[in-house]
Structure 1
Amino acid sequence: MENKILVAVFSASGVTKKVGEEIARIAGADFYEIVPKEIYTSADLNWMNKKSRSSIEMNDSSLRPEIKGRIADMASYNTLIIGFPIWWGMAPRIIDTFLESYDFSGKKIIPFCTSGGSGIGRSDIALHKDVSDDVKWEKGVQINSPNEAKIKKWLEKVL
């Protein structure tokens, strides 16, 4: 069976999207952007403001921001490369929304993050709770730029 790959990313500032598009190009994968139903404004993303939307979401692990659109043929993919920025040392809550929205039974999930400071941290393991037990997880990595050589080397290890 062919290994059909989907690269799905959430990107608030565009950095994660650029990296994800390069990963998809190199891997010969399909690309999907996880777009929130309500787009984040710069005020929403102000991590210094405890009342900003992102601060409120990250302080309440039960929140699930809505996603605009859906992947119609998720069952046709057997590998998911999921990318996200690191917020408060974790994946944004919209990644929980995405992972809880599909059945990933028997699939391989490979996370990557972008971050101005911390690495993938706890988010790599924390996301496992969002999917069934028979998902094969690869260890998550931080990739901050669409560096072709670095991405190729990483994909050779995880695909």
Structure 2
Amino acid sequence: MSNVLVAYFSASGVTKNVAEKIANENGYDLFEIKPVEPYTAADLDYMDKQSRSTIEMNDKSFRPPIAETCDVSGYDTVVIGFPVWWYTAPTIINTFIESVDLTGKTIKAFCTSGGTGIDGCVSDLQDSYPELNFSKGMRFMGNVSGAKDWIE
């Protein structure tokens, strides 16, 4: 077991590809945060005010159920990856955070996004979970060569 866990949520595969590259290139463990009900293309249509993702993101208390959680007790650092939705982390990230004990761990968030940076996402997570230790996040577009330096 490595000392770093890369946990990620990916709706379309972009974040999954980045998370797998980071984990594989650096020998980190990998965990996919999977919704009980996978997201369809229609669910992800941010232009549709009635799409599943829009409804979820408009309700900050909503927690989409996840298929399974994982034991993070053996890790000092947990890296959480996600696509940016509505300028922040998808609510399923809150579901994951609330399903594990991240107390005392270094938490590094990374996002995949065509335009939005990570700082607002990390700030929102820190505001929601002030007891947790979030470090500066990173946005990746595919090239993960700087991931190890950032994580360690």
Same fold (TM over 0.5): yes
2: CA distance, partners of 1:132 / 1:142:
22
Q: CA deviation at 1:121?
A: 4.1
Matches within 5 A, 1:5-84: 5-71=4-70, 73-84=71-82
Question: Please, what is the CA RMSD of the aligned residues?
Answer: 1.6
Q: Report the TM-score, using the length of structure 1 for normalisation.
A: 0.89
Indicate conservation of the 8 Å contact 2:2/2:28, yes or no.
no
Q: Quick one: structure 1 residues 36 and 143, their matched pair in 2 at CA, closer, same or farther if it must change by over 3 Å?
A: same
User: Which whole-Å deviations, capped at 9, do the CAs of 1:30-50 have from their partners, x for residues lacking one?
Assistant: 011100001001000000000
Unaligned regions of 5+ residues in structure 1, if any? none
Identity percentage over the alignment?
48
Match of 1:105 in 2: 103
Q: Secondary structure at the match of 2:146?
A: helix
Unaligned regions of 5+ residues in structure 2, if any? none
1: CA distance, partners of 2:78 / 2:85:
21
User: Which whole-Å deviations, capped at 9, do the CAs of 1:36-70 have from their partners, x for residues lacking one?
Assistant: 00100100000000000000011110100000012
Indicate conservation of the 8 Å contact 1:58/1:93, yes or no.
yes
Q: CA deviation at 1:20?
A: 0.2
Question: How many pairs align?
Answer: 152
Q: Which AA in structure 2 matches 1:4?
A: N
Q: Secondary structure at the match of 1:36?
A: coil
Q: Report the TM-score, using the length of structure 2 for normalisation.
A: 0.93
